[in-house]
Amino acid sequence: LVGPDGSVGATIFAEMSALAARTGAINLGQGFPDTDGPPEVLEAARQAIADGVNQYPPGRGMPVLREAIARHQQRFYGLAVDPDTDVLVTAGATEALAATLLALVEPGDEVLTFEPYYDSYAAIVALAGARLVTVPLEWPAFAPDPDRIRAAFSARTRLVLVNDPHNPTGSVLDRGTRELIVELATRHDALIVTDEVYEHLRFGTPHEPIATLPGAAERTITISSGGKTFSTTGWKIGWLHARADLVTAILSVKQFLTYVNGAPFQPAIAVGLDLPDAFYARIAADLGAGRDILIAGLRRAGLTVSVPEGSYFVVADAAPLGATDAAAFCRDLATTAGVVGIPVSAFTATPGAYAGLVRFAFCKRPDVLREAAGRLSSLS
């Protein structure tokens, strides 16, 4: 992770945001919304600060948030979660992932995930001393081949790390694949860690957590975050729920990573989790409209598109424009079109994979997406 000169390599997200800032291009690279979250949630944080909620909260998270997480899981998915023993509040989903893997994986274990994958996965697996084993998601559907999932399991598989809906591809796992993962994890006595930060950003069928499948809850750690649902990525309030003994093991690591986090933001995210169904329907509808604006622009520009069913990302193939190296294409695009995307190759360790594919974020205001779509059209 550290270069020979002692420098720490910037993540692709920081690098591409810097490129957008330098060139004045529209930043559809790093995934963050350009509109802040619902007013009730923002106001609740201001109120919490005014009320003096500014000192260390409890290590497991404030009861008001843990209870809201449990209510949310019951309301949307029918999952029974005990807020006292089964829930842990974390510094974003990132810390939930890190603490979980550091607590539950031993050096030499294998961790199975789909590739491409969110960039912190490989880093955390390496920090845990484990080996990452991947199953490819292939353009354009990004649906895994069941036989390759079966073949990826071994006697050393300790944990399967699933991201549904998926970053960067925007794909969602069908029920058959989720059932296969549970069946194979059970047979190999492996744990399932499921990163569901985009659970409410769905454009077709509603989200169904793996933990709802028969036999899954006892071996599944379910992770989410307030950053995506409530457009508060800078607050870094995430959480996980799992069997009580697993939560205790993860807490034993979390206490030495961040100890606790974000006191005034916790009751605010609790307010968000209790917002009425209309709020959740609206964020999905608004995002779906943004998706359609951007997809139309990408197609007009001559790129082919894999239509995402979830998340706020769309992957497009720049090969029809002659691009064979998406990283070079993205660097040029900042000046040729004034738009920044992220090469999908940043989400894989396989050299040459996903050559012409670019990820664009559409969690932006409609006028910004229309402007980006117009700029892209100038390419064709």
Among 31, 61, 170, 308, the residue binding ligand PMP under the rule CB under 6 A is 31
Q: Tell me the C-alpha to C-alpha distance, in Å, between residue 60 and each of 46, 183, 218.
A: 22, 31, 20
CB of 100 to ligand GLN, least distance (A): 18
238 is in the binding site of which of ligand GLN, ligand PMP, none (Cβ under 5 to 8 A by kind)? Answer: ligand PMP
Among 20, 27, 30, 135, the residue binding ligand GLN under the rule CB under 6 A is 30
Beta strand pairing call for 313-317 and 357-361: antiparallel
**Residue 167 or residue 306: which is nearer to ligand PMP going by CB?**
167
> Is residue 233 close enough to count as binding ligand PMP by CB under 6 A?
yes
**Residue 83 or residue 92: which is nearer to ligand GLN going by CB?**
92
CB of 116 to ligand GLN, least distance (A): 11
227 is in the binding site of which of ligand GLN, ligand PMP, none (Cβ under 5 to 8 A by kind)? Answer: ligand PMP
> Is residue 348 close enough to count as binding ligand GLN by CB under 6 A?
no
User: What crossing angle do the helices spanning 326-336 and 12-23 adopt, rounded to 10°?
Assistant: 20
Q: d(Cα 241, Cα 111) in Å, to the nearest integer?
A: 20
Q: d(Cα 302, Cα 341) in Å, to the nearest integer?
A: 16
**Residue 57 or residue 170: which is nearer to ligand GLN going by CB?**
170
> Is residue 47 close enough to count as binding ligand GLN by CB under 6 A?
no
> Is residue 27 close enough to count as binding ligand GLN by CB under 6 A?
no
Determine the 3-state secondary structure of 18 from DSSP.
helix
> Is residue 157 close enough to count as binding ligand PMP by CB under 6 A?
no
Q: d(Cα 35, Cα 160) in Å, to the nearest integer?
A: 34
Encoded one letter per residue, x for contact with ligand PMP by CB under 6 A and - for no contact, window 115-154 reads: ---x------------------------------------
> Is residue 171 close enough to count as binding ligand GLN by CB under 6 A?
no
> Is residue 29 close enough to count as binding ligand PMP by CB under 6 A?
no
Which residue type, as a one-letter code, is found at position 269?
Answer: I
Determine the 3-state secondary structure of 373 from DSSP.
helix
352: left (phi over 0), alpha (psi -120 to 50) or beta: left
CB of 165 to ligand PMP, least distance (A): 8
Give the binding range for ligand PMP (CB under 6 A) out of 49-57, 233-241, 339-347, 367-375.
233-241
> Is residue 209 close enough to count as binding ligand PMP by CB under 6 A?
no
Q: d(Cα 301, Cα 317) in Å, to the nearest integer?
A: 11
**Residue 33 or residue 297: which is nearer to ligand PMP going by CB?**
33
- The set of residues, in sequence order, having a beta carbon less than 8 Å from that of 292 and lying 6+ positions away, is none
Q: d(Cα 204, Cα 62) in Å, to the nearest integer?
A: 34
Report which DSSP code applies to 192. Answer: E
> Is residue 167 close enough to count as binding ligand GLN by CB under 6 A?
yes
CB of 137 to ligand GLN, least distance (A): 16
CB 334 within 8 A of CB 25: yes
> Is residue 362 close enough to count as binding ligand PMP by CB under 6 A?
no
Q: Tell me the C-alpha to C-alpha distance, in Å, between residue 290 and each of 56, 152, 372.
A: 39, 36, 11
77 is in the binding site of which of ligand GLN, ligand PMP, none (Cβ under 5 to 8 A by kind)? Answer: none
Q: In the bound complex, which residue of the shown chain has the CB atom lying closest to ligand GLN?
A: 31
The two most distant CA atoms of the chain are separated, in Å, by 58
Q: d(Cα 298, Cα 283) in Å, to the nearest integer?
A: 22
Task: By CB under 6 A, name the binding residues for ligand GLN.
Answer: 11, 13, 30-31, 167
